[in-house]
């Protein structure tokens, strides 16, 4: 987003919502920096800090907004207030847009877009990569037991989990470290992460809920197979056995993985179709133009 805005001639500043404690603190920042417009990612986490703002702003929905925060009365109230002030709201999928519309029907604009022990040179090796923060909604332990059992039978399969642990999941790394064939890595720069992705057999998503997984779309664009938990957010961008694989439980995950490992031709065809899908429906050039148009409308 920063590069997109600056390429269009804007000066962009990215700020972490968790670094600000109140709307008044954000208002002081806006005044000091002389910001002219704002975009908030996540209706509750980011949007709450822009309530009462003296500058126009737009909102980009996160999956947590619709799937989790909406269940809490106070968060729902805050999100409603934010939407009343926002100039536009961006939903990543039609399903997310429709779900939001059942709760809020006064959007000014609506839009659907998408905006070690392991030896990589081993020809028999199959690496599966799960990219996520270690928190409840991402359910990082969902596949661990099933994968460990599979690894004990077939030592060439490994699951790598990359991401930081939040405080409530502080025991998660200890649990993972005891699981056979499962490895935990800390966050790494995006360029290095993409290099890891390219070495993997598949990128995995095991979330309880998603808005739109950037890890899935990036894997598709990098010509890497995707296996994702069969939830609405994932099913909105993955057609089963066409652009990726959807699984409903750890046993089905193992079964589907084995079937693709034994059928390289089908794997390549799925990867090809996924790449075509990303180019057609999630082009960064198209999204850049869309966001530029939206931002210009704030001025």
What's the pLDDT tens digit per position in 138-178? 999 999 999 999 999 999 999 999 887 665 565 677 677 77
Residue 121 lies in a domain: no
Cβ atoms of residues 130 and 219 within 8 Å: no
Of the CA atoms within 13 Å of residue 174, those in its CB half-sphere come to 3
Residue 239 lies in a domain: yes
Residue 240 lies in a domain: yes
Counted domains in the chain? 2
Q: Tokens at residue 123, please?
A: 């020809």
- What pLDDT, on a 0 to 100 scale, did the predictor assign at position 36? 83
Residue 88 lies in a domain: yes
Residues 30 and 59 in one domain: yes
Give the Cβ contact number of residue 187 at 10 Å: 12
Alpha-carbon dihedral angle through residues 90, 93, 94, 99, given to the nearest 10 degrees? -80
CA distance 220 to 205: 13
Residues 275 and 137 in one domain: yes
Residues 110 and 218 in one domain: no
CA distance 63 to 82: 16
- What pLDDT, on a 0 to 100 scale, did the predictor assign at position 29? 77
Residues 236 and 272 in one domain: yes
Q: Tokens at residue 281, please?
A: 């429906």
- Residue 204's DSSP bridge partners are 130, 227
Residue 217 lies in a domain: yes
Residue 119 lies in a domain: no
Residues 107 and 181 in one domain: no
Q: Is 7 exposed, middle or buried (0-12, 13-18, 19+ CB in 10 A)?
A: exposed
- Residue 185's DSSP bridge partners are 162
Residue 169 lies in a domain: yes
Chain segment 79-119, per-residue pLDDT in tens: 888 888 888 888 877 778 778 877 875 443 343 333 344 55
Q: Biggest alpha carbon distance in the chain?
A: 61
Q: DSSP string of 8-59?
A: TT-------GGG--SHHHHHHHHHHHT---EEEESTTTTGGGGTT-SS-EEE
Residue 267 lies in a domain: yes
- Residue 40's DSSP bridge partners are 59
Residues 73 and 214 in one domain: no
Beta strands in 54-165 (DSSP E): 57-60, 89-91, 110-112, 126-131, 157-162
Residues 105 and 132 in one domain: no
Chain segment 187-240, per-residue pLDDT in tens: 778 888 888 899 899 999 999 999 888 899 999 999 999 999 999 999 999 999
Give the Cβ contact number of residue 121 at 10 Å: 6
Domain that holds residue 178: 126-281
- What pLDDT, on a 0 to 100 scale, did the predictor assign at position 39? 87
Chain segment 20-43, per-residue pLDDT in tens: 667 777 777 777 778 888 888 888
Residues 207 and 109 in one domain: no
| 115 vs 270, residue with greater confidence | 270
Residues 271 and 132 in one domain: yes
CATH number reported for the structural domain that contains residue 12 in this entry? 3.40.50.2000
Residues 139 and 271 in one domain: yes
- What pLDDT, on a 0 to 100 scale, did the predictor assign at position 117? 46
Residues 101 and 190 in one domain: no
Question: Where do the H-state alpha helices sit in 154-213?
Answer: 172-177, 190-199
Residues 99 and 139 in one domain: no
**Token pair 């931002």: residue:** 295
Q: How much is the average pLDDT of 11-27?
A: 73
Q: Tokens at residue 58, please?
A: 């737009």
């Amino acid at each position: 987003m920063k590069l997109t805005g600056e390429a269009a001639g804007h000066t962009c500043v990215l700020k972490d919502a968790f670094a600000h404690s109140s709307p008044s603190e954000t208002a002081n920042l806006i005044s000091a920096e002389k910001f002219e417009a704002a975009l908030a990612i996540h209706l509750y986490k980011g949007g709450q800090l822009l309530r009462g703002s003296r500058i126009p702003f737009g909102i980009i929905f996160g999956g947590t907004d619709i799937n989790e925060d909406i269940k809490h009365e106070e968060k729902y109230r805050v999100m409603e207030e934010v939407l009343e002030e926002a100039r536009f709201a961006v939903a990543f999928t039609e399903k997310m847009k429709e779900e939001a519309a059942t709760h809020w029907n006064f959007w000014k604009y609506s839009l659907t877009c998408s905006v070690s022990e392991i030896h990589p040179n081993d020809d028999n090796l199959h690496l599966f990569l799960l990219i996520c923060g270690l928190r409840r909604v991402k359910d990082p332990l969902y596949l661990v037991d099933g994968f460990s059992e599979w690894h004990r039978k077939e030592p060439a399969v490994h699951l790598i989990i990359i991401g930081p642990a939040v405080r409530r999941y502080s025991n998660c790394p200890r649990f993972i470290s005891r699981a056979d064939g499962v490895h935990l890595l800390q966050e790494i720069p995006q360029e290095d992460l993409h290099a890891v992705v390219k070495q993997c057999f598949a990128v995995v998503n095991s979330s309880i809920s998603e808005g739109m997984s950037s890890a899935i779309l990036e894997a598709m664009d990098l010509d890497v197979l995707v296996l994702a938990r069969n939830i609405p957010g994932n099913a909105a961008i993955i057609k089963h056995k066409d652009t990726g694989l959807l699984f409903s439980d750890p046993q089905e995950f193992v079964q589907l993985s084995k079937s693709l490992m034994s059928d390289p031709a089908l794997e390549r065809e799925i990867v090809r179709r996924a790449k075509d899908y990303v180019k057609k429906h999630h082009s960064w050039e198209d999204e850049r133009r869309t966001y530029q148009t939206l931002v210009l409308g704030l001025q």
